Amino acid sequence: MKLTVYCWSLMCLILRSQAGVVDDFSQVDRCKDFLYMGTPPRGYLSTSLKKICQRYVDKPRFVTLYDPQKHIPIYSAYTFKKSDGEKRVDIPWMFEPQLATDKGSSNMEPFPQSSLMHKNFEDTQAVLEDYVDVVQYERGQMSPDEHQVDPLDKAATYTLTNVVPLIREFNFGPWSTQLEVTRKRLNNYCHGKAYVITGVTTSGNMIRRDNLDRVAIPEFMWTAYCCSDYDHNAPYSERYKFPAFGAYGLNDRVNNHMVEVPIKNLEKFLKGKMEVDKNFQIFYSDCVSDA
């Protein structure tokens, strides 16, 4: 049902503001739900980054901080759902209309079949052609299909605004293993809501197409979770990794093992790799409850 057909102009504006490209995640109710305490990571210095409330079939599914110049997400933030780790294989890749024009749909949409149509929005985001002739790279999801249960939540992860180029050996090796480790840990020991943020650092390497820099290649991938309601009787080997923990790994064929670290250690590592200020923080109050 299209509520916007029957609403007053102010209500239409409110409904439209619930998704698509927004000014502030924390000011949009259904978007801030994917962030611990409704607060996004702080400290990013760039003013050109776009905040996308990733909306699919008229419902926000997760949020992404997107770089329209490097054509990659800087991070995606989502709420983990207890899952069996299966992936969907029947979903067409999608794009974000509102990155191309503020008059665009606030829902992600499948790429048009005609590649000529892709030129209408390739200035602001990656398109399918960017990944065609780069066999060494896989489309790595920042908010992964495997961490969702609802078929529509899983489908929403298949937008190129949620994807970065990962070296095949890293994607199918250490990175996939880390996603599974996190999935099992949160499945088994997180009793409440788990907030996850996955991001990248870059060092200037790009996928090129038609002699143009098109898509930034991550140097490191990192991920962190926050679950304040967890099993205090879990084995110590798992319990000390709550309420929050992180991991990072080099996006390469070799020396690409994942390193699990406390949140403070991850933040310290990332400060040396990203354009952030000294107050950079992944989770509000480092996921330490005031209670």
pLDDT in tens, 84-142: 988 887 899 999 998 988 888 889 999 988 777 777 888 999 999 999 989 999 999 99
Whole-number Å distance between alpha carbons of 113 and 90: 16
Spell out the residues 6+ positions from residue 49 whose beta carbon is closer than 8 angstroms to its own.
Answer: 65, 66, 67, 68, 74
Residue 121 has what pLDDT?
86
| Residue count (the chain) | 291
What is the token pair recorded at 213? Answer: 């820099």
Looking at residues 42-47, what average pLDDT do you find? 94
Q: Is the pLDDT assigned to residue 11 strictly greater than 50?
A: no
Does 169 or 102 have the greater pLDDT score? 169
Residue 112 has what pLDDT?
87
Residue 17 has what pLDDT?
44
Residue 6 has what pLDDT?
33
Between 45-54, 97-106, 169-178, the lowest mean confidence (pLDDT) is in 97-106
Between 19-28, 159-168, 235-244, the lowest mean confidence (pLDDT) is in 19-28
Q: How confident is the model at residue 13 (pLDDT cuts 50, 70, 90)?
A: very low
Does 69 or 88 have the greater pLDDT score? 69
Q: Is the pLDDT assigned to residue 200 strictly greater than 70?
A: yes
Whole-number Å distance between alpha carbons of 284 and 37: 7
Q: Is the pLDDT assigned to residue 28 strictly greater than 80?
A: no
Looking at residues 216-220, what average pLDDT do you find? 97
Residue 290 has what pLDDT?
63
Q: Is the pLDDT assigned to residue 273 strictly greater than 70?
A: yes
Q: How confident is the model at residue 71 (pLDDT cuts 50, 70, 90)?
A: very high
Whole-number Å distance between alpha carbons of 117 and 136: 26
Average pLDDT for the chain: 90
Residue 291 has what pLDDT?
53
| Residue ranges of domains in the chain, CATH in brackets | 21-287 (3.40.570.10)
Handedness of CA 85, 88, 94, 96 (dihedral sign): negative
Interior CA angle at 188 toward 141 and 142, to 5°?
10
Residue 14 has what pLDDT?
41
Map tokens 């293993």 to a residue: 177
Looking at residues 243-263, what average pLDDT do you find? 97
Torsion from C-alpha of 166, 171, 172, 178, nearest 10 degrees: 180
Residue 78 has what pLDDT?
98
pLDDT in tens, 231-241: 999 999 999 99
